Amino acid sequence: MDNKEKKEEYMDQSFRDTIGTVDDQGKRNWVYPKKPSGKFHNARRWVSVVLLAFLFSGPFIRIGGQPLLLIDVIDRKFILFGQVFWPQDFYIFVLSMLAGIVFVVLFTVVFGRIFCGWICPQTIFLEMVFRKIEYWIEGDFKYQRKLNKQPWNAEKIRKKLTKHGIFFLISFIIANTFLAYIIGSEELIGIITDPPKEHFAGLSSILIFTGVFYWVFSWFREQVCIVACPYGRLQSVMLDRSSIVVAYDFIRGEKRGKFRKIEKREEVGKGDCIDCHQCVDVCPTGIDIRNGTQLECVNCTACIDACDHIMESVNLPKGLIRYDSEEGIVNKKHKKISARSIAYSIVLVLILGLVGFLLFNRSDVQATVLKTPGQQYQIRENNEISNLYNYKVINKTFEDIPAEFRLIDMDGRVEILGNSTTEITAESMAEGSFFIILNKSDLQERKSDIELGVYDKDGNLLDEVETTFLAPVKTE
């Protein structure tokens, strides 16, 4: 059978009519994946250890006294690497999110779902934490299946209670960590240490989060990747024939079949796949990668390790299942850069450039000045005209700032109602009113554009704002 015939045979897509985790009656097929091991699994385990350490320590890491990451949706305050972002910086956030999405799309176009297998918290928690505990308490897949089928006895009750007790405890720890990213670690410690009645809402949130995580990792599991994750659903539009995915080399592997004499397989028309089913047994989403790239595949690499192990044991070259593209397998072309990825790269660079520019020019203090509604101008003594304005000044820093408004490149003065300076407390907004007073002889038009600066006590310009000034008539 040549490559073309093999491809045609391989293109049979009838397997896509069913989902591996749902039976004919529409009921859930529980997946019992075989315990994975091998080179890729070991590498993923180390990556997971680093990422988990980072995730759990994140809320307690401080940069300049501020959290590394805080997503305080309640107070609409976001801290990233010690820098605070307010709703006024929302456009930077939106652009950063856009850049993130383009990056993920670009990464997916070139490298497929590597993110899912190596970085996604769902995969890391499920495969590297919860399933490890399950293997430790209930044994490998065959023992788990047997345990679930056997009637309730002392052994089953003990194992299930231990497993679910530990699952709940870990879910509780994860819930606390996620909450710490939302409300901050100090607040979280307060919720835990203060009397429960003082933090009823906080404690309820922890329990709700714990319940959700426990449900996801003990029962919903791979269904998150198969039916709930939007990134997973988008794979079909992002992947192309050049994308690197976990792929079965059907050119080399087919026609699959059990045949003991490896050296004579070619003679009897057999490929390198000995149909041992190991790649299917280890799959945590219950699919057969030999059917081709599938939405359910989270690129966990378990089948690569399993098949490599088999290939080694039968003295055939490893890599029958490997990271490769369809182009690489069928035509032996390993082109990684397509027109689509170049286009995405250009968009990404443009967005990142814009985000960088906005971040670089982002001021710690942001002022808004608007003319007070219903007010035009006031004629004063000494040939002076005044206009009344309302102002708002946001202090995005973590320190109080005594600020002062001054006119830029113009004679005149600013008279704040009540005070001469505005004290803007840290992470808050000050608002009030002021008069701008100009000499009539300096005004050439009925409506003049003027520029105001917000200065700190040392005379440093913190922000600039433009507004208009109304005068009674055009002066000669």
Contact letters for ligand SF4, residues 311-330 (x by CB under 6 A)? ---------xx---------
227 binds ligand SF4 (CB under 6 A): no
For residue 285, state whether it binds ligand SF4 (rule: CB under 6 A). Answer: yes
Question: Tokens 């919903």, residue?
Answer: 220
Q: Does 290 bind ligand SF4 (CB under 6 A)?
A: yes
Q: How far apart are the first and last CA of the chain?
A: 96
Whole-angstrom CA distances from 299 to 131, 135, 228, 313 are 17, 21, 17, 24
Q: Rounded to the nearest whole angstrom, what is the least distance from the CB of residue 259 to ligand SF4 in the complex?
A: 12
Q: Can residue 310 be called a binding residue for ligand SF4 (CB under 6 A)?
A: yes
Q: Which of 120, 180, 244, 289 binds ligand SF4 (CB under 6 A)?
A: 289
Residue partners of 27: CB distance under 8 A and separation at least 6: none
Q: 293 or 366, CB closer to ligand SF4?
A: 293
Nearer Cβ to ligand SF4, position 206 or 226? 226
Least spacing, CB of residue 84 vs ligand SF4, in Å = 40
Q: How many other C-beta atoms can be found within 10 angstroms of the C-beta atom of residue 140?
A: 14
Considering only the stretches 70-78, 151-159, 271-279, 337-345, report the one whose residues sit in contact with ligand SF4 under the rule CB under 6 A: 271-279
> Is 394 near ligand SF4 (CB under 6 A)?
no
User: Do the Cβ atoms of 99 and 355 come closer than 8 Å?
Assistant: yes
Q: What is the largest CA-CA distance in the chain?
A: 110
Contact (Cβ atoms closer than 8 angstroms) between residue 393 and residue 422: yes
- Whichever of 278 and 386 has its CB closer to ligand SF4, that residue is 278
- The phi and psi torsions of 422 (rounded to 5 degrees) equal -115, 120
Nearest CB to ligand SF4, comparing residues 285 and 422: 285
Distance CA 468, CA 449 (A): 5
- Token pair 């000499």 is found at 439
What tokens appear for 398 in the block?
Answer: 């973590």
CA distance 287 to 147: 23
Q: Which of 22, 38, 31 is nearest to 285 (CA)?
A: 31
Using rule CB under 6 A, residue 287 touches ligand SF4: yes
Any contact of residue 303 with ligand SF4 (CB under 6 A)?
Answer: yes
Q: CB under 6 A: which stretch of 96-104, 281-289, 378-386, 449-457 binds ligand SF4?
A: 281-289
Q: Total number of residues binding ligand SF4 (CB under 6 A)?
A: 30
Residue 318's CB: how many other CB atoms inside 10 A? 15
Binding span for ligand SF4 by CB under 6 A among 270-278, 410-418, 425-433, 441-449: 270-278
Residue 275 touching ligand SF4 (CB under 6 A) = yes
Given the rule CB under 6 A, which residues bind ligand SF4? 246, 248, 253, 256, 273-279, 282-285, 287, 289-290, 297-303, 306-307, 310, 320-321
